[in-house]
Amino acid sequence: MTESKWSEVDRYLSEQLIPEANELAWLLDANTSAGLPAIDVTSHFAKLLALLIRVSGAQRILEIGTLGGFSGVWMARAMPSTGLLVTLESESKHAEVAINNFKRDGVDDRVEIRLGPALDSLAQLIAEKAAPFDFVFVDADKANNPGYLDLVLQLTHPGSVLFFDNMVRGGEVIESESLDENIRGIRETHAMVGKDDRLLATAIQTVGTKGYDGFLLALVVK
Ligand code: SAH
Ligand code: DHB
Ligand code: MG
């Protein structure tokens, strides 16, 4: 099985099931024009996030890693119109592109971007006693995932859903001696989640146009 086959299958599945992908092509074009890296989730993943938001009835959504707002637009569209997406981004250029994209899509009234290192923004949300979030999508620097998990658990409630992207990394996740800080962060996150009796979780390996990776899905149970 080759990566080109994975991409062909992704294209087929998108054509069959995800009409929104065509409708949102302008957003990925805007990101490319602005020079952003093409590390957004695929439409298949974005729609999974949207479906999880609908299934769980999430109204308050937290995203760590905005980039150009591709996943953000999908999640904002999936919330009820009374919902709020708070999305954290450290690169001002990415945030600027995302703000424009949120405006162009018409979801900007339901989205709040916080610029700065996400660990600081999360600490700030905790200090502000922000209302708990129902759904959290973690998709930024993987080295900081353990710290994000710690803080996110202070910003959620039993019933909240956590989704971590890029948790397999081409299989590198099993390299216990890896010196790559991203792999170390991912491994520590799996271990932390597995040991935490507040969480019920699984992780799934995936292939597609963005290669071989995987996600972790957790439910806060207490
Ligand atoms: N969720 C986006 C993709 C995010 S890519 C989508 O699917 O459309 C990861 C993003 O995290 C990048 O924009 C990067 O600038 C941002 N990032 C990296 N380190 C960060 C940090 N410490 N704090 C906040 N954002 C960070
Ligand atoms: C990278 C980040 C991501 O969130 C992703 O899905 C793929 C790649 C990266 O930083 O390289
Ligand atoms: Mg990602």
Each residue's pLDDT tens digit, 137-195: 999 999 999 999 999 999 999 999 999 999 999 999 999 999 999 999 999 999 999 99
Span from the CA of 75 to the centroid of ligand 2 (angstroms): 18
Each residue's pLDDT tens digit, 86-124: 999 999 999 999 999 999 999 999 999 999 999 999 999
Span from the CA of 222 to the centroid of ligand 2 (angstroms): 30
Q: How many residues does this entry show for the chain?
A: 222
* Sheet of 111-115, strands arranged across: 111-115, 84-89, 60-64, 133-138, 156-164, 211-220, 199-208
Q: Please state, in angstroms and rounded to a whole number, the distance separating the CA atoms of residues 92 and 202.
A: 34
Q: Which atom of ligand 1 is nearest to the CA of 137?
A: 1
Span from the CA of 1 to the centroid of ligand 1 (angstroms): 30
Mean pLDDT (the chain, rounded):
98
Ligand closest to the CA atom of residue 147: 1
Each residue's pLDDT tens digit, 22-81: 999 999 999 999 999 999 999 999 999 999 999 999 999 999 999 999 999 999 999 999
